[in-house]
Chain A
């Protein structure tokens, strides 16, 4: 009995079934990088899981040991600097990739009926990514990790009704204490990634059920097939993108490796507290308004964005010709860039 027969007796799957399963026809416009951006965060997520698991072999999540263990990873462990720097840059690129992918979906109107649900799944993934980034930053236990977590928990505290619970949940108490860091670690390395995997599965399942929105461009010759195969053609595109990302990550990790800030000092608030760059928008917003106004308006904006497919549909039913969503989108992008640059440029 051949090995193939041995397996096929036990696992009744045929090669043709597999081919059918993987061979989603992909519309031609996905040959353009702007439309193939969705694969980037997925690829980077895998990079984060691999490097994250490696880091977890040496990382020790407690206030006494965290900083020293990250220092060990950075300065002594073989290729520790590389693994840590790739993880750090991977996080940065992942946030950027998610935002770019979302912009593509937004400006091409790909969130419209029947894809509203997948837009909302996508919003959850954006929030999830930001939260993973935030909790990861807290793990290093540098000054900014400690004070960033403290300030964030206290901002959460101002949310009406649920606020105090969120703060207690995050810090395992009223203030940052000896139980806090293990919590951040579990959230960062287990709970949120598991949630993320679940969301990615749902996201991709919905895409396969609906197919991606089809776009056509003037320069496409008519008569040519307007789809190509996922396997191997599109997979090749993704592999090439993966290789380019790997090179990019390695270059960034080598030229601008992750460093160590001063160790957390619970008795000394640094003069300047800054979160990671992708939270600059939120941070600047908080400084512009009184805390409750800022938190509530922020929640309102995120919620509006979450429900955008429905709001957009309503607007288009009333004013079928309006370019409303495009203007809102441009305004949003400008606001995000403006607030980020502003926060990045000033100390307070």
Chain B
């Protein structure tokens, strides 16, 4: 009698355990599926170094800048600040405002980057100076520059599976004046060009 009661208890314990295991398995399997689904929704990224060729160092005079857009939508201003052939003579800054993401533009006459959305101001090296980014201590993110055999490379995020795979220069014809711009030098340059064309 006592033994059958004990075995009955054992059996119901077993049943309870099985039920629990079943629920655990259900939660675990659907949970796994859900976590895959969530993970799927965030794009995969390659994190190996991705130096991307941009241009011949010689083709960008001091004080000028070019704008690029990467495959995954990042916008970069590449400017030449020194006349040397080293990475330090170039600076590559994101032109996306760290405040709310508006497009930042270089204002040569004021020697600053300016964001029109909430009057954000950045120094030539990208440090936030005033407006919301300055108040919050935000700067324009920097991209690493590398020079090899006189060619300039940028470290930009890669984006697989997109139609556009390369760094694209925006508006080839239009070269904007960038940070490090030196009016005297520019005057020289203009004179050079005048001479060349006259």
Contact = CB atoms under 8 A, between A and B. Distances in A.
Interface of A: 64, 147, 150-151, 153-155, 168-169, 172-180, 266-269, 271, 273, 291
B49 interface: no
A273 B67 contact: no
A147 B101 CA distance: 8
A178 to B, nearest CB: 5
Secondary structure of the B contact surface, majority rule: loop
B72 A150 contact: no
Interface stretch (B8-16, B143-151, B162-170): B162-170
B114 to A, nearest CB: 11
A273 B42 contact: no
Interface of B: 41-43, 67, 69, 71-75, 95-96, 99-103, 115-117, 132, 159, 162-164, 170
Nearest to A177: B73
B67 A180 contact: no
Nearest to A180: B73
Given A267-B103, A269-B116, A174 B170 contact: no
Given A154-B100, A177-B71, A267-B69, 8 more contacts: A150-B101, A151-B117, A169-B41, A177-B162, A178-B164, A267-B75, A269-B116, A269-B117
17 contacts: A64-B163, A153-B101, A154-B100, A154-B101, A168-B42, A175-B96, A175-B101, A176-B73, A177-B162, A178-B71, A178-B159, A179-B72, A179-B162, A267-B103, A267-B170, A269-B103, A269-B116
A53 B32 CA distance: 33
B140 to A, nearest CB: 13
Nearest to A62: B163
Contacts of B96: 175
Contact of B102 (A150, A168, A178): A150
B75 A269 contact: no
Nearest to B71: A178
A237 to B, nearest CB: 43
Most buried by B among A147, A173, A273: A173
A295 B140 CA distance: 23
B27 to A, nearest CB: 22
Nearest to B99: A154
Contacts of B115: 269
B159 A177 contact: yes
Given A177-B159, A269-B117, A271-B116, A155 B100 contact: yes
Contacts of B95: 267
A128 to B, nearest CB: 19
Contacts of A269: 102-103, 115-117
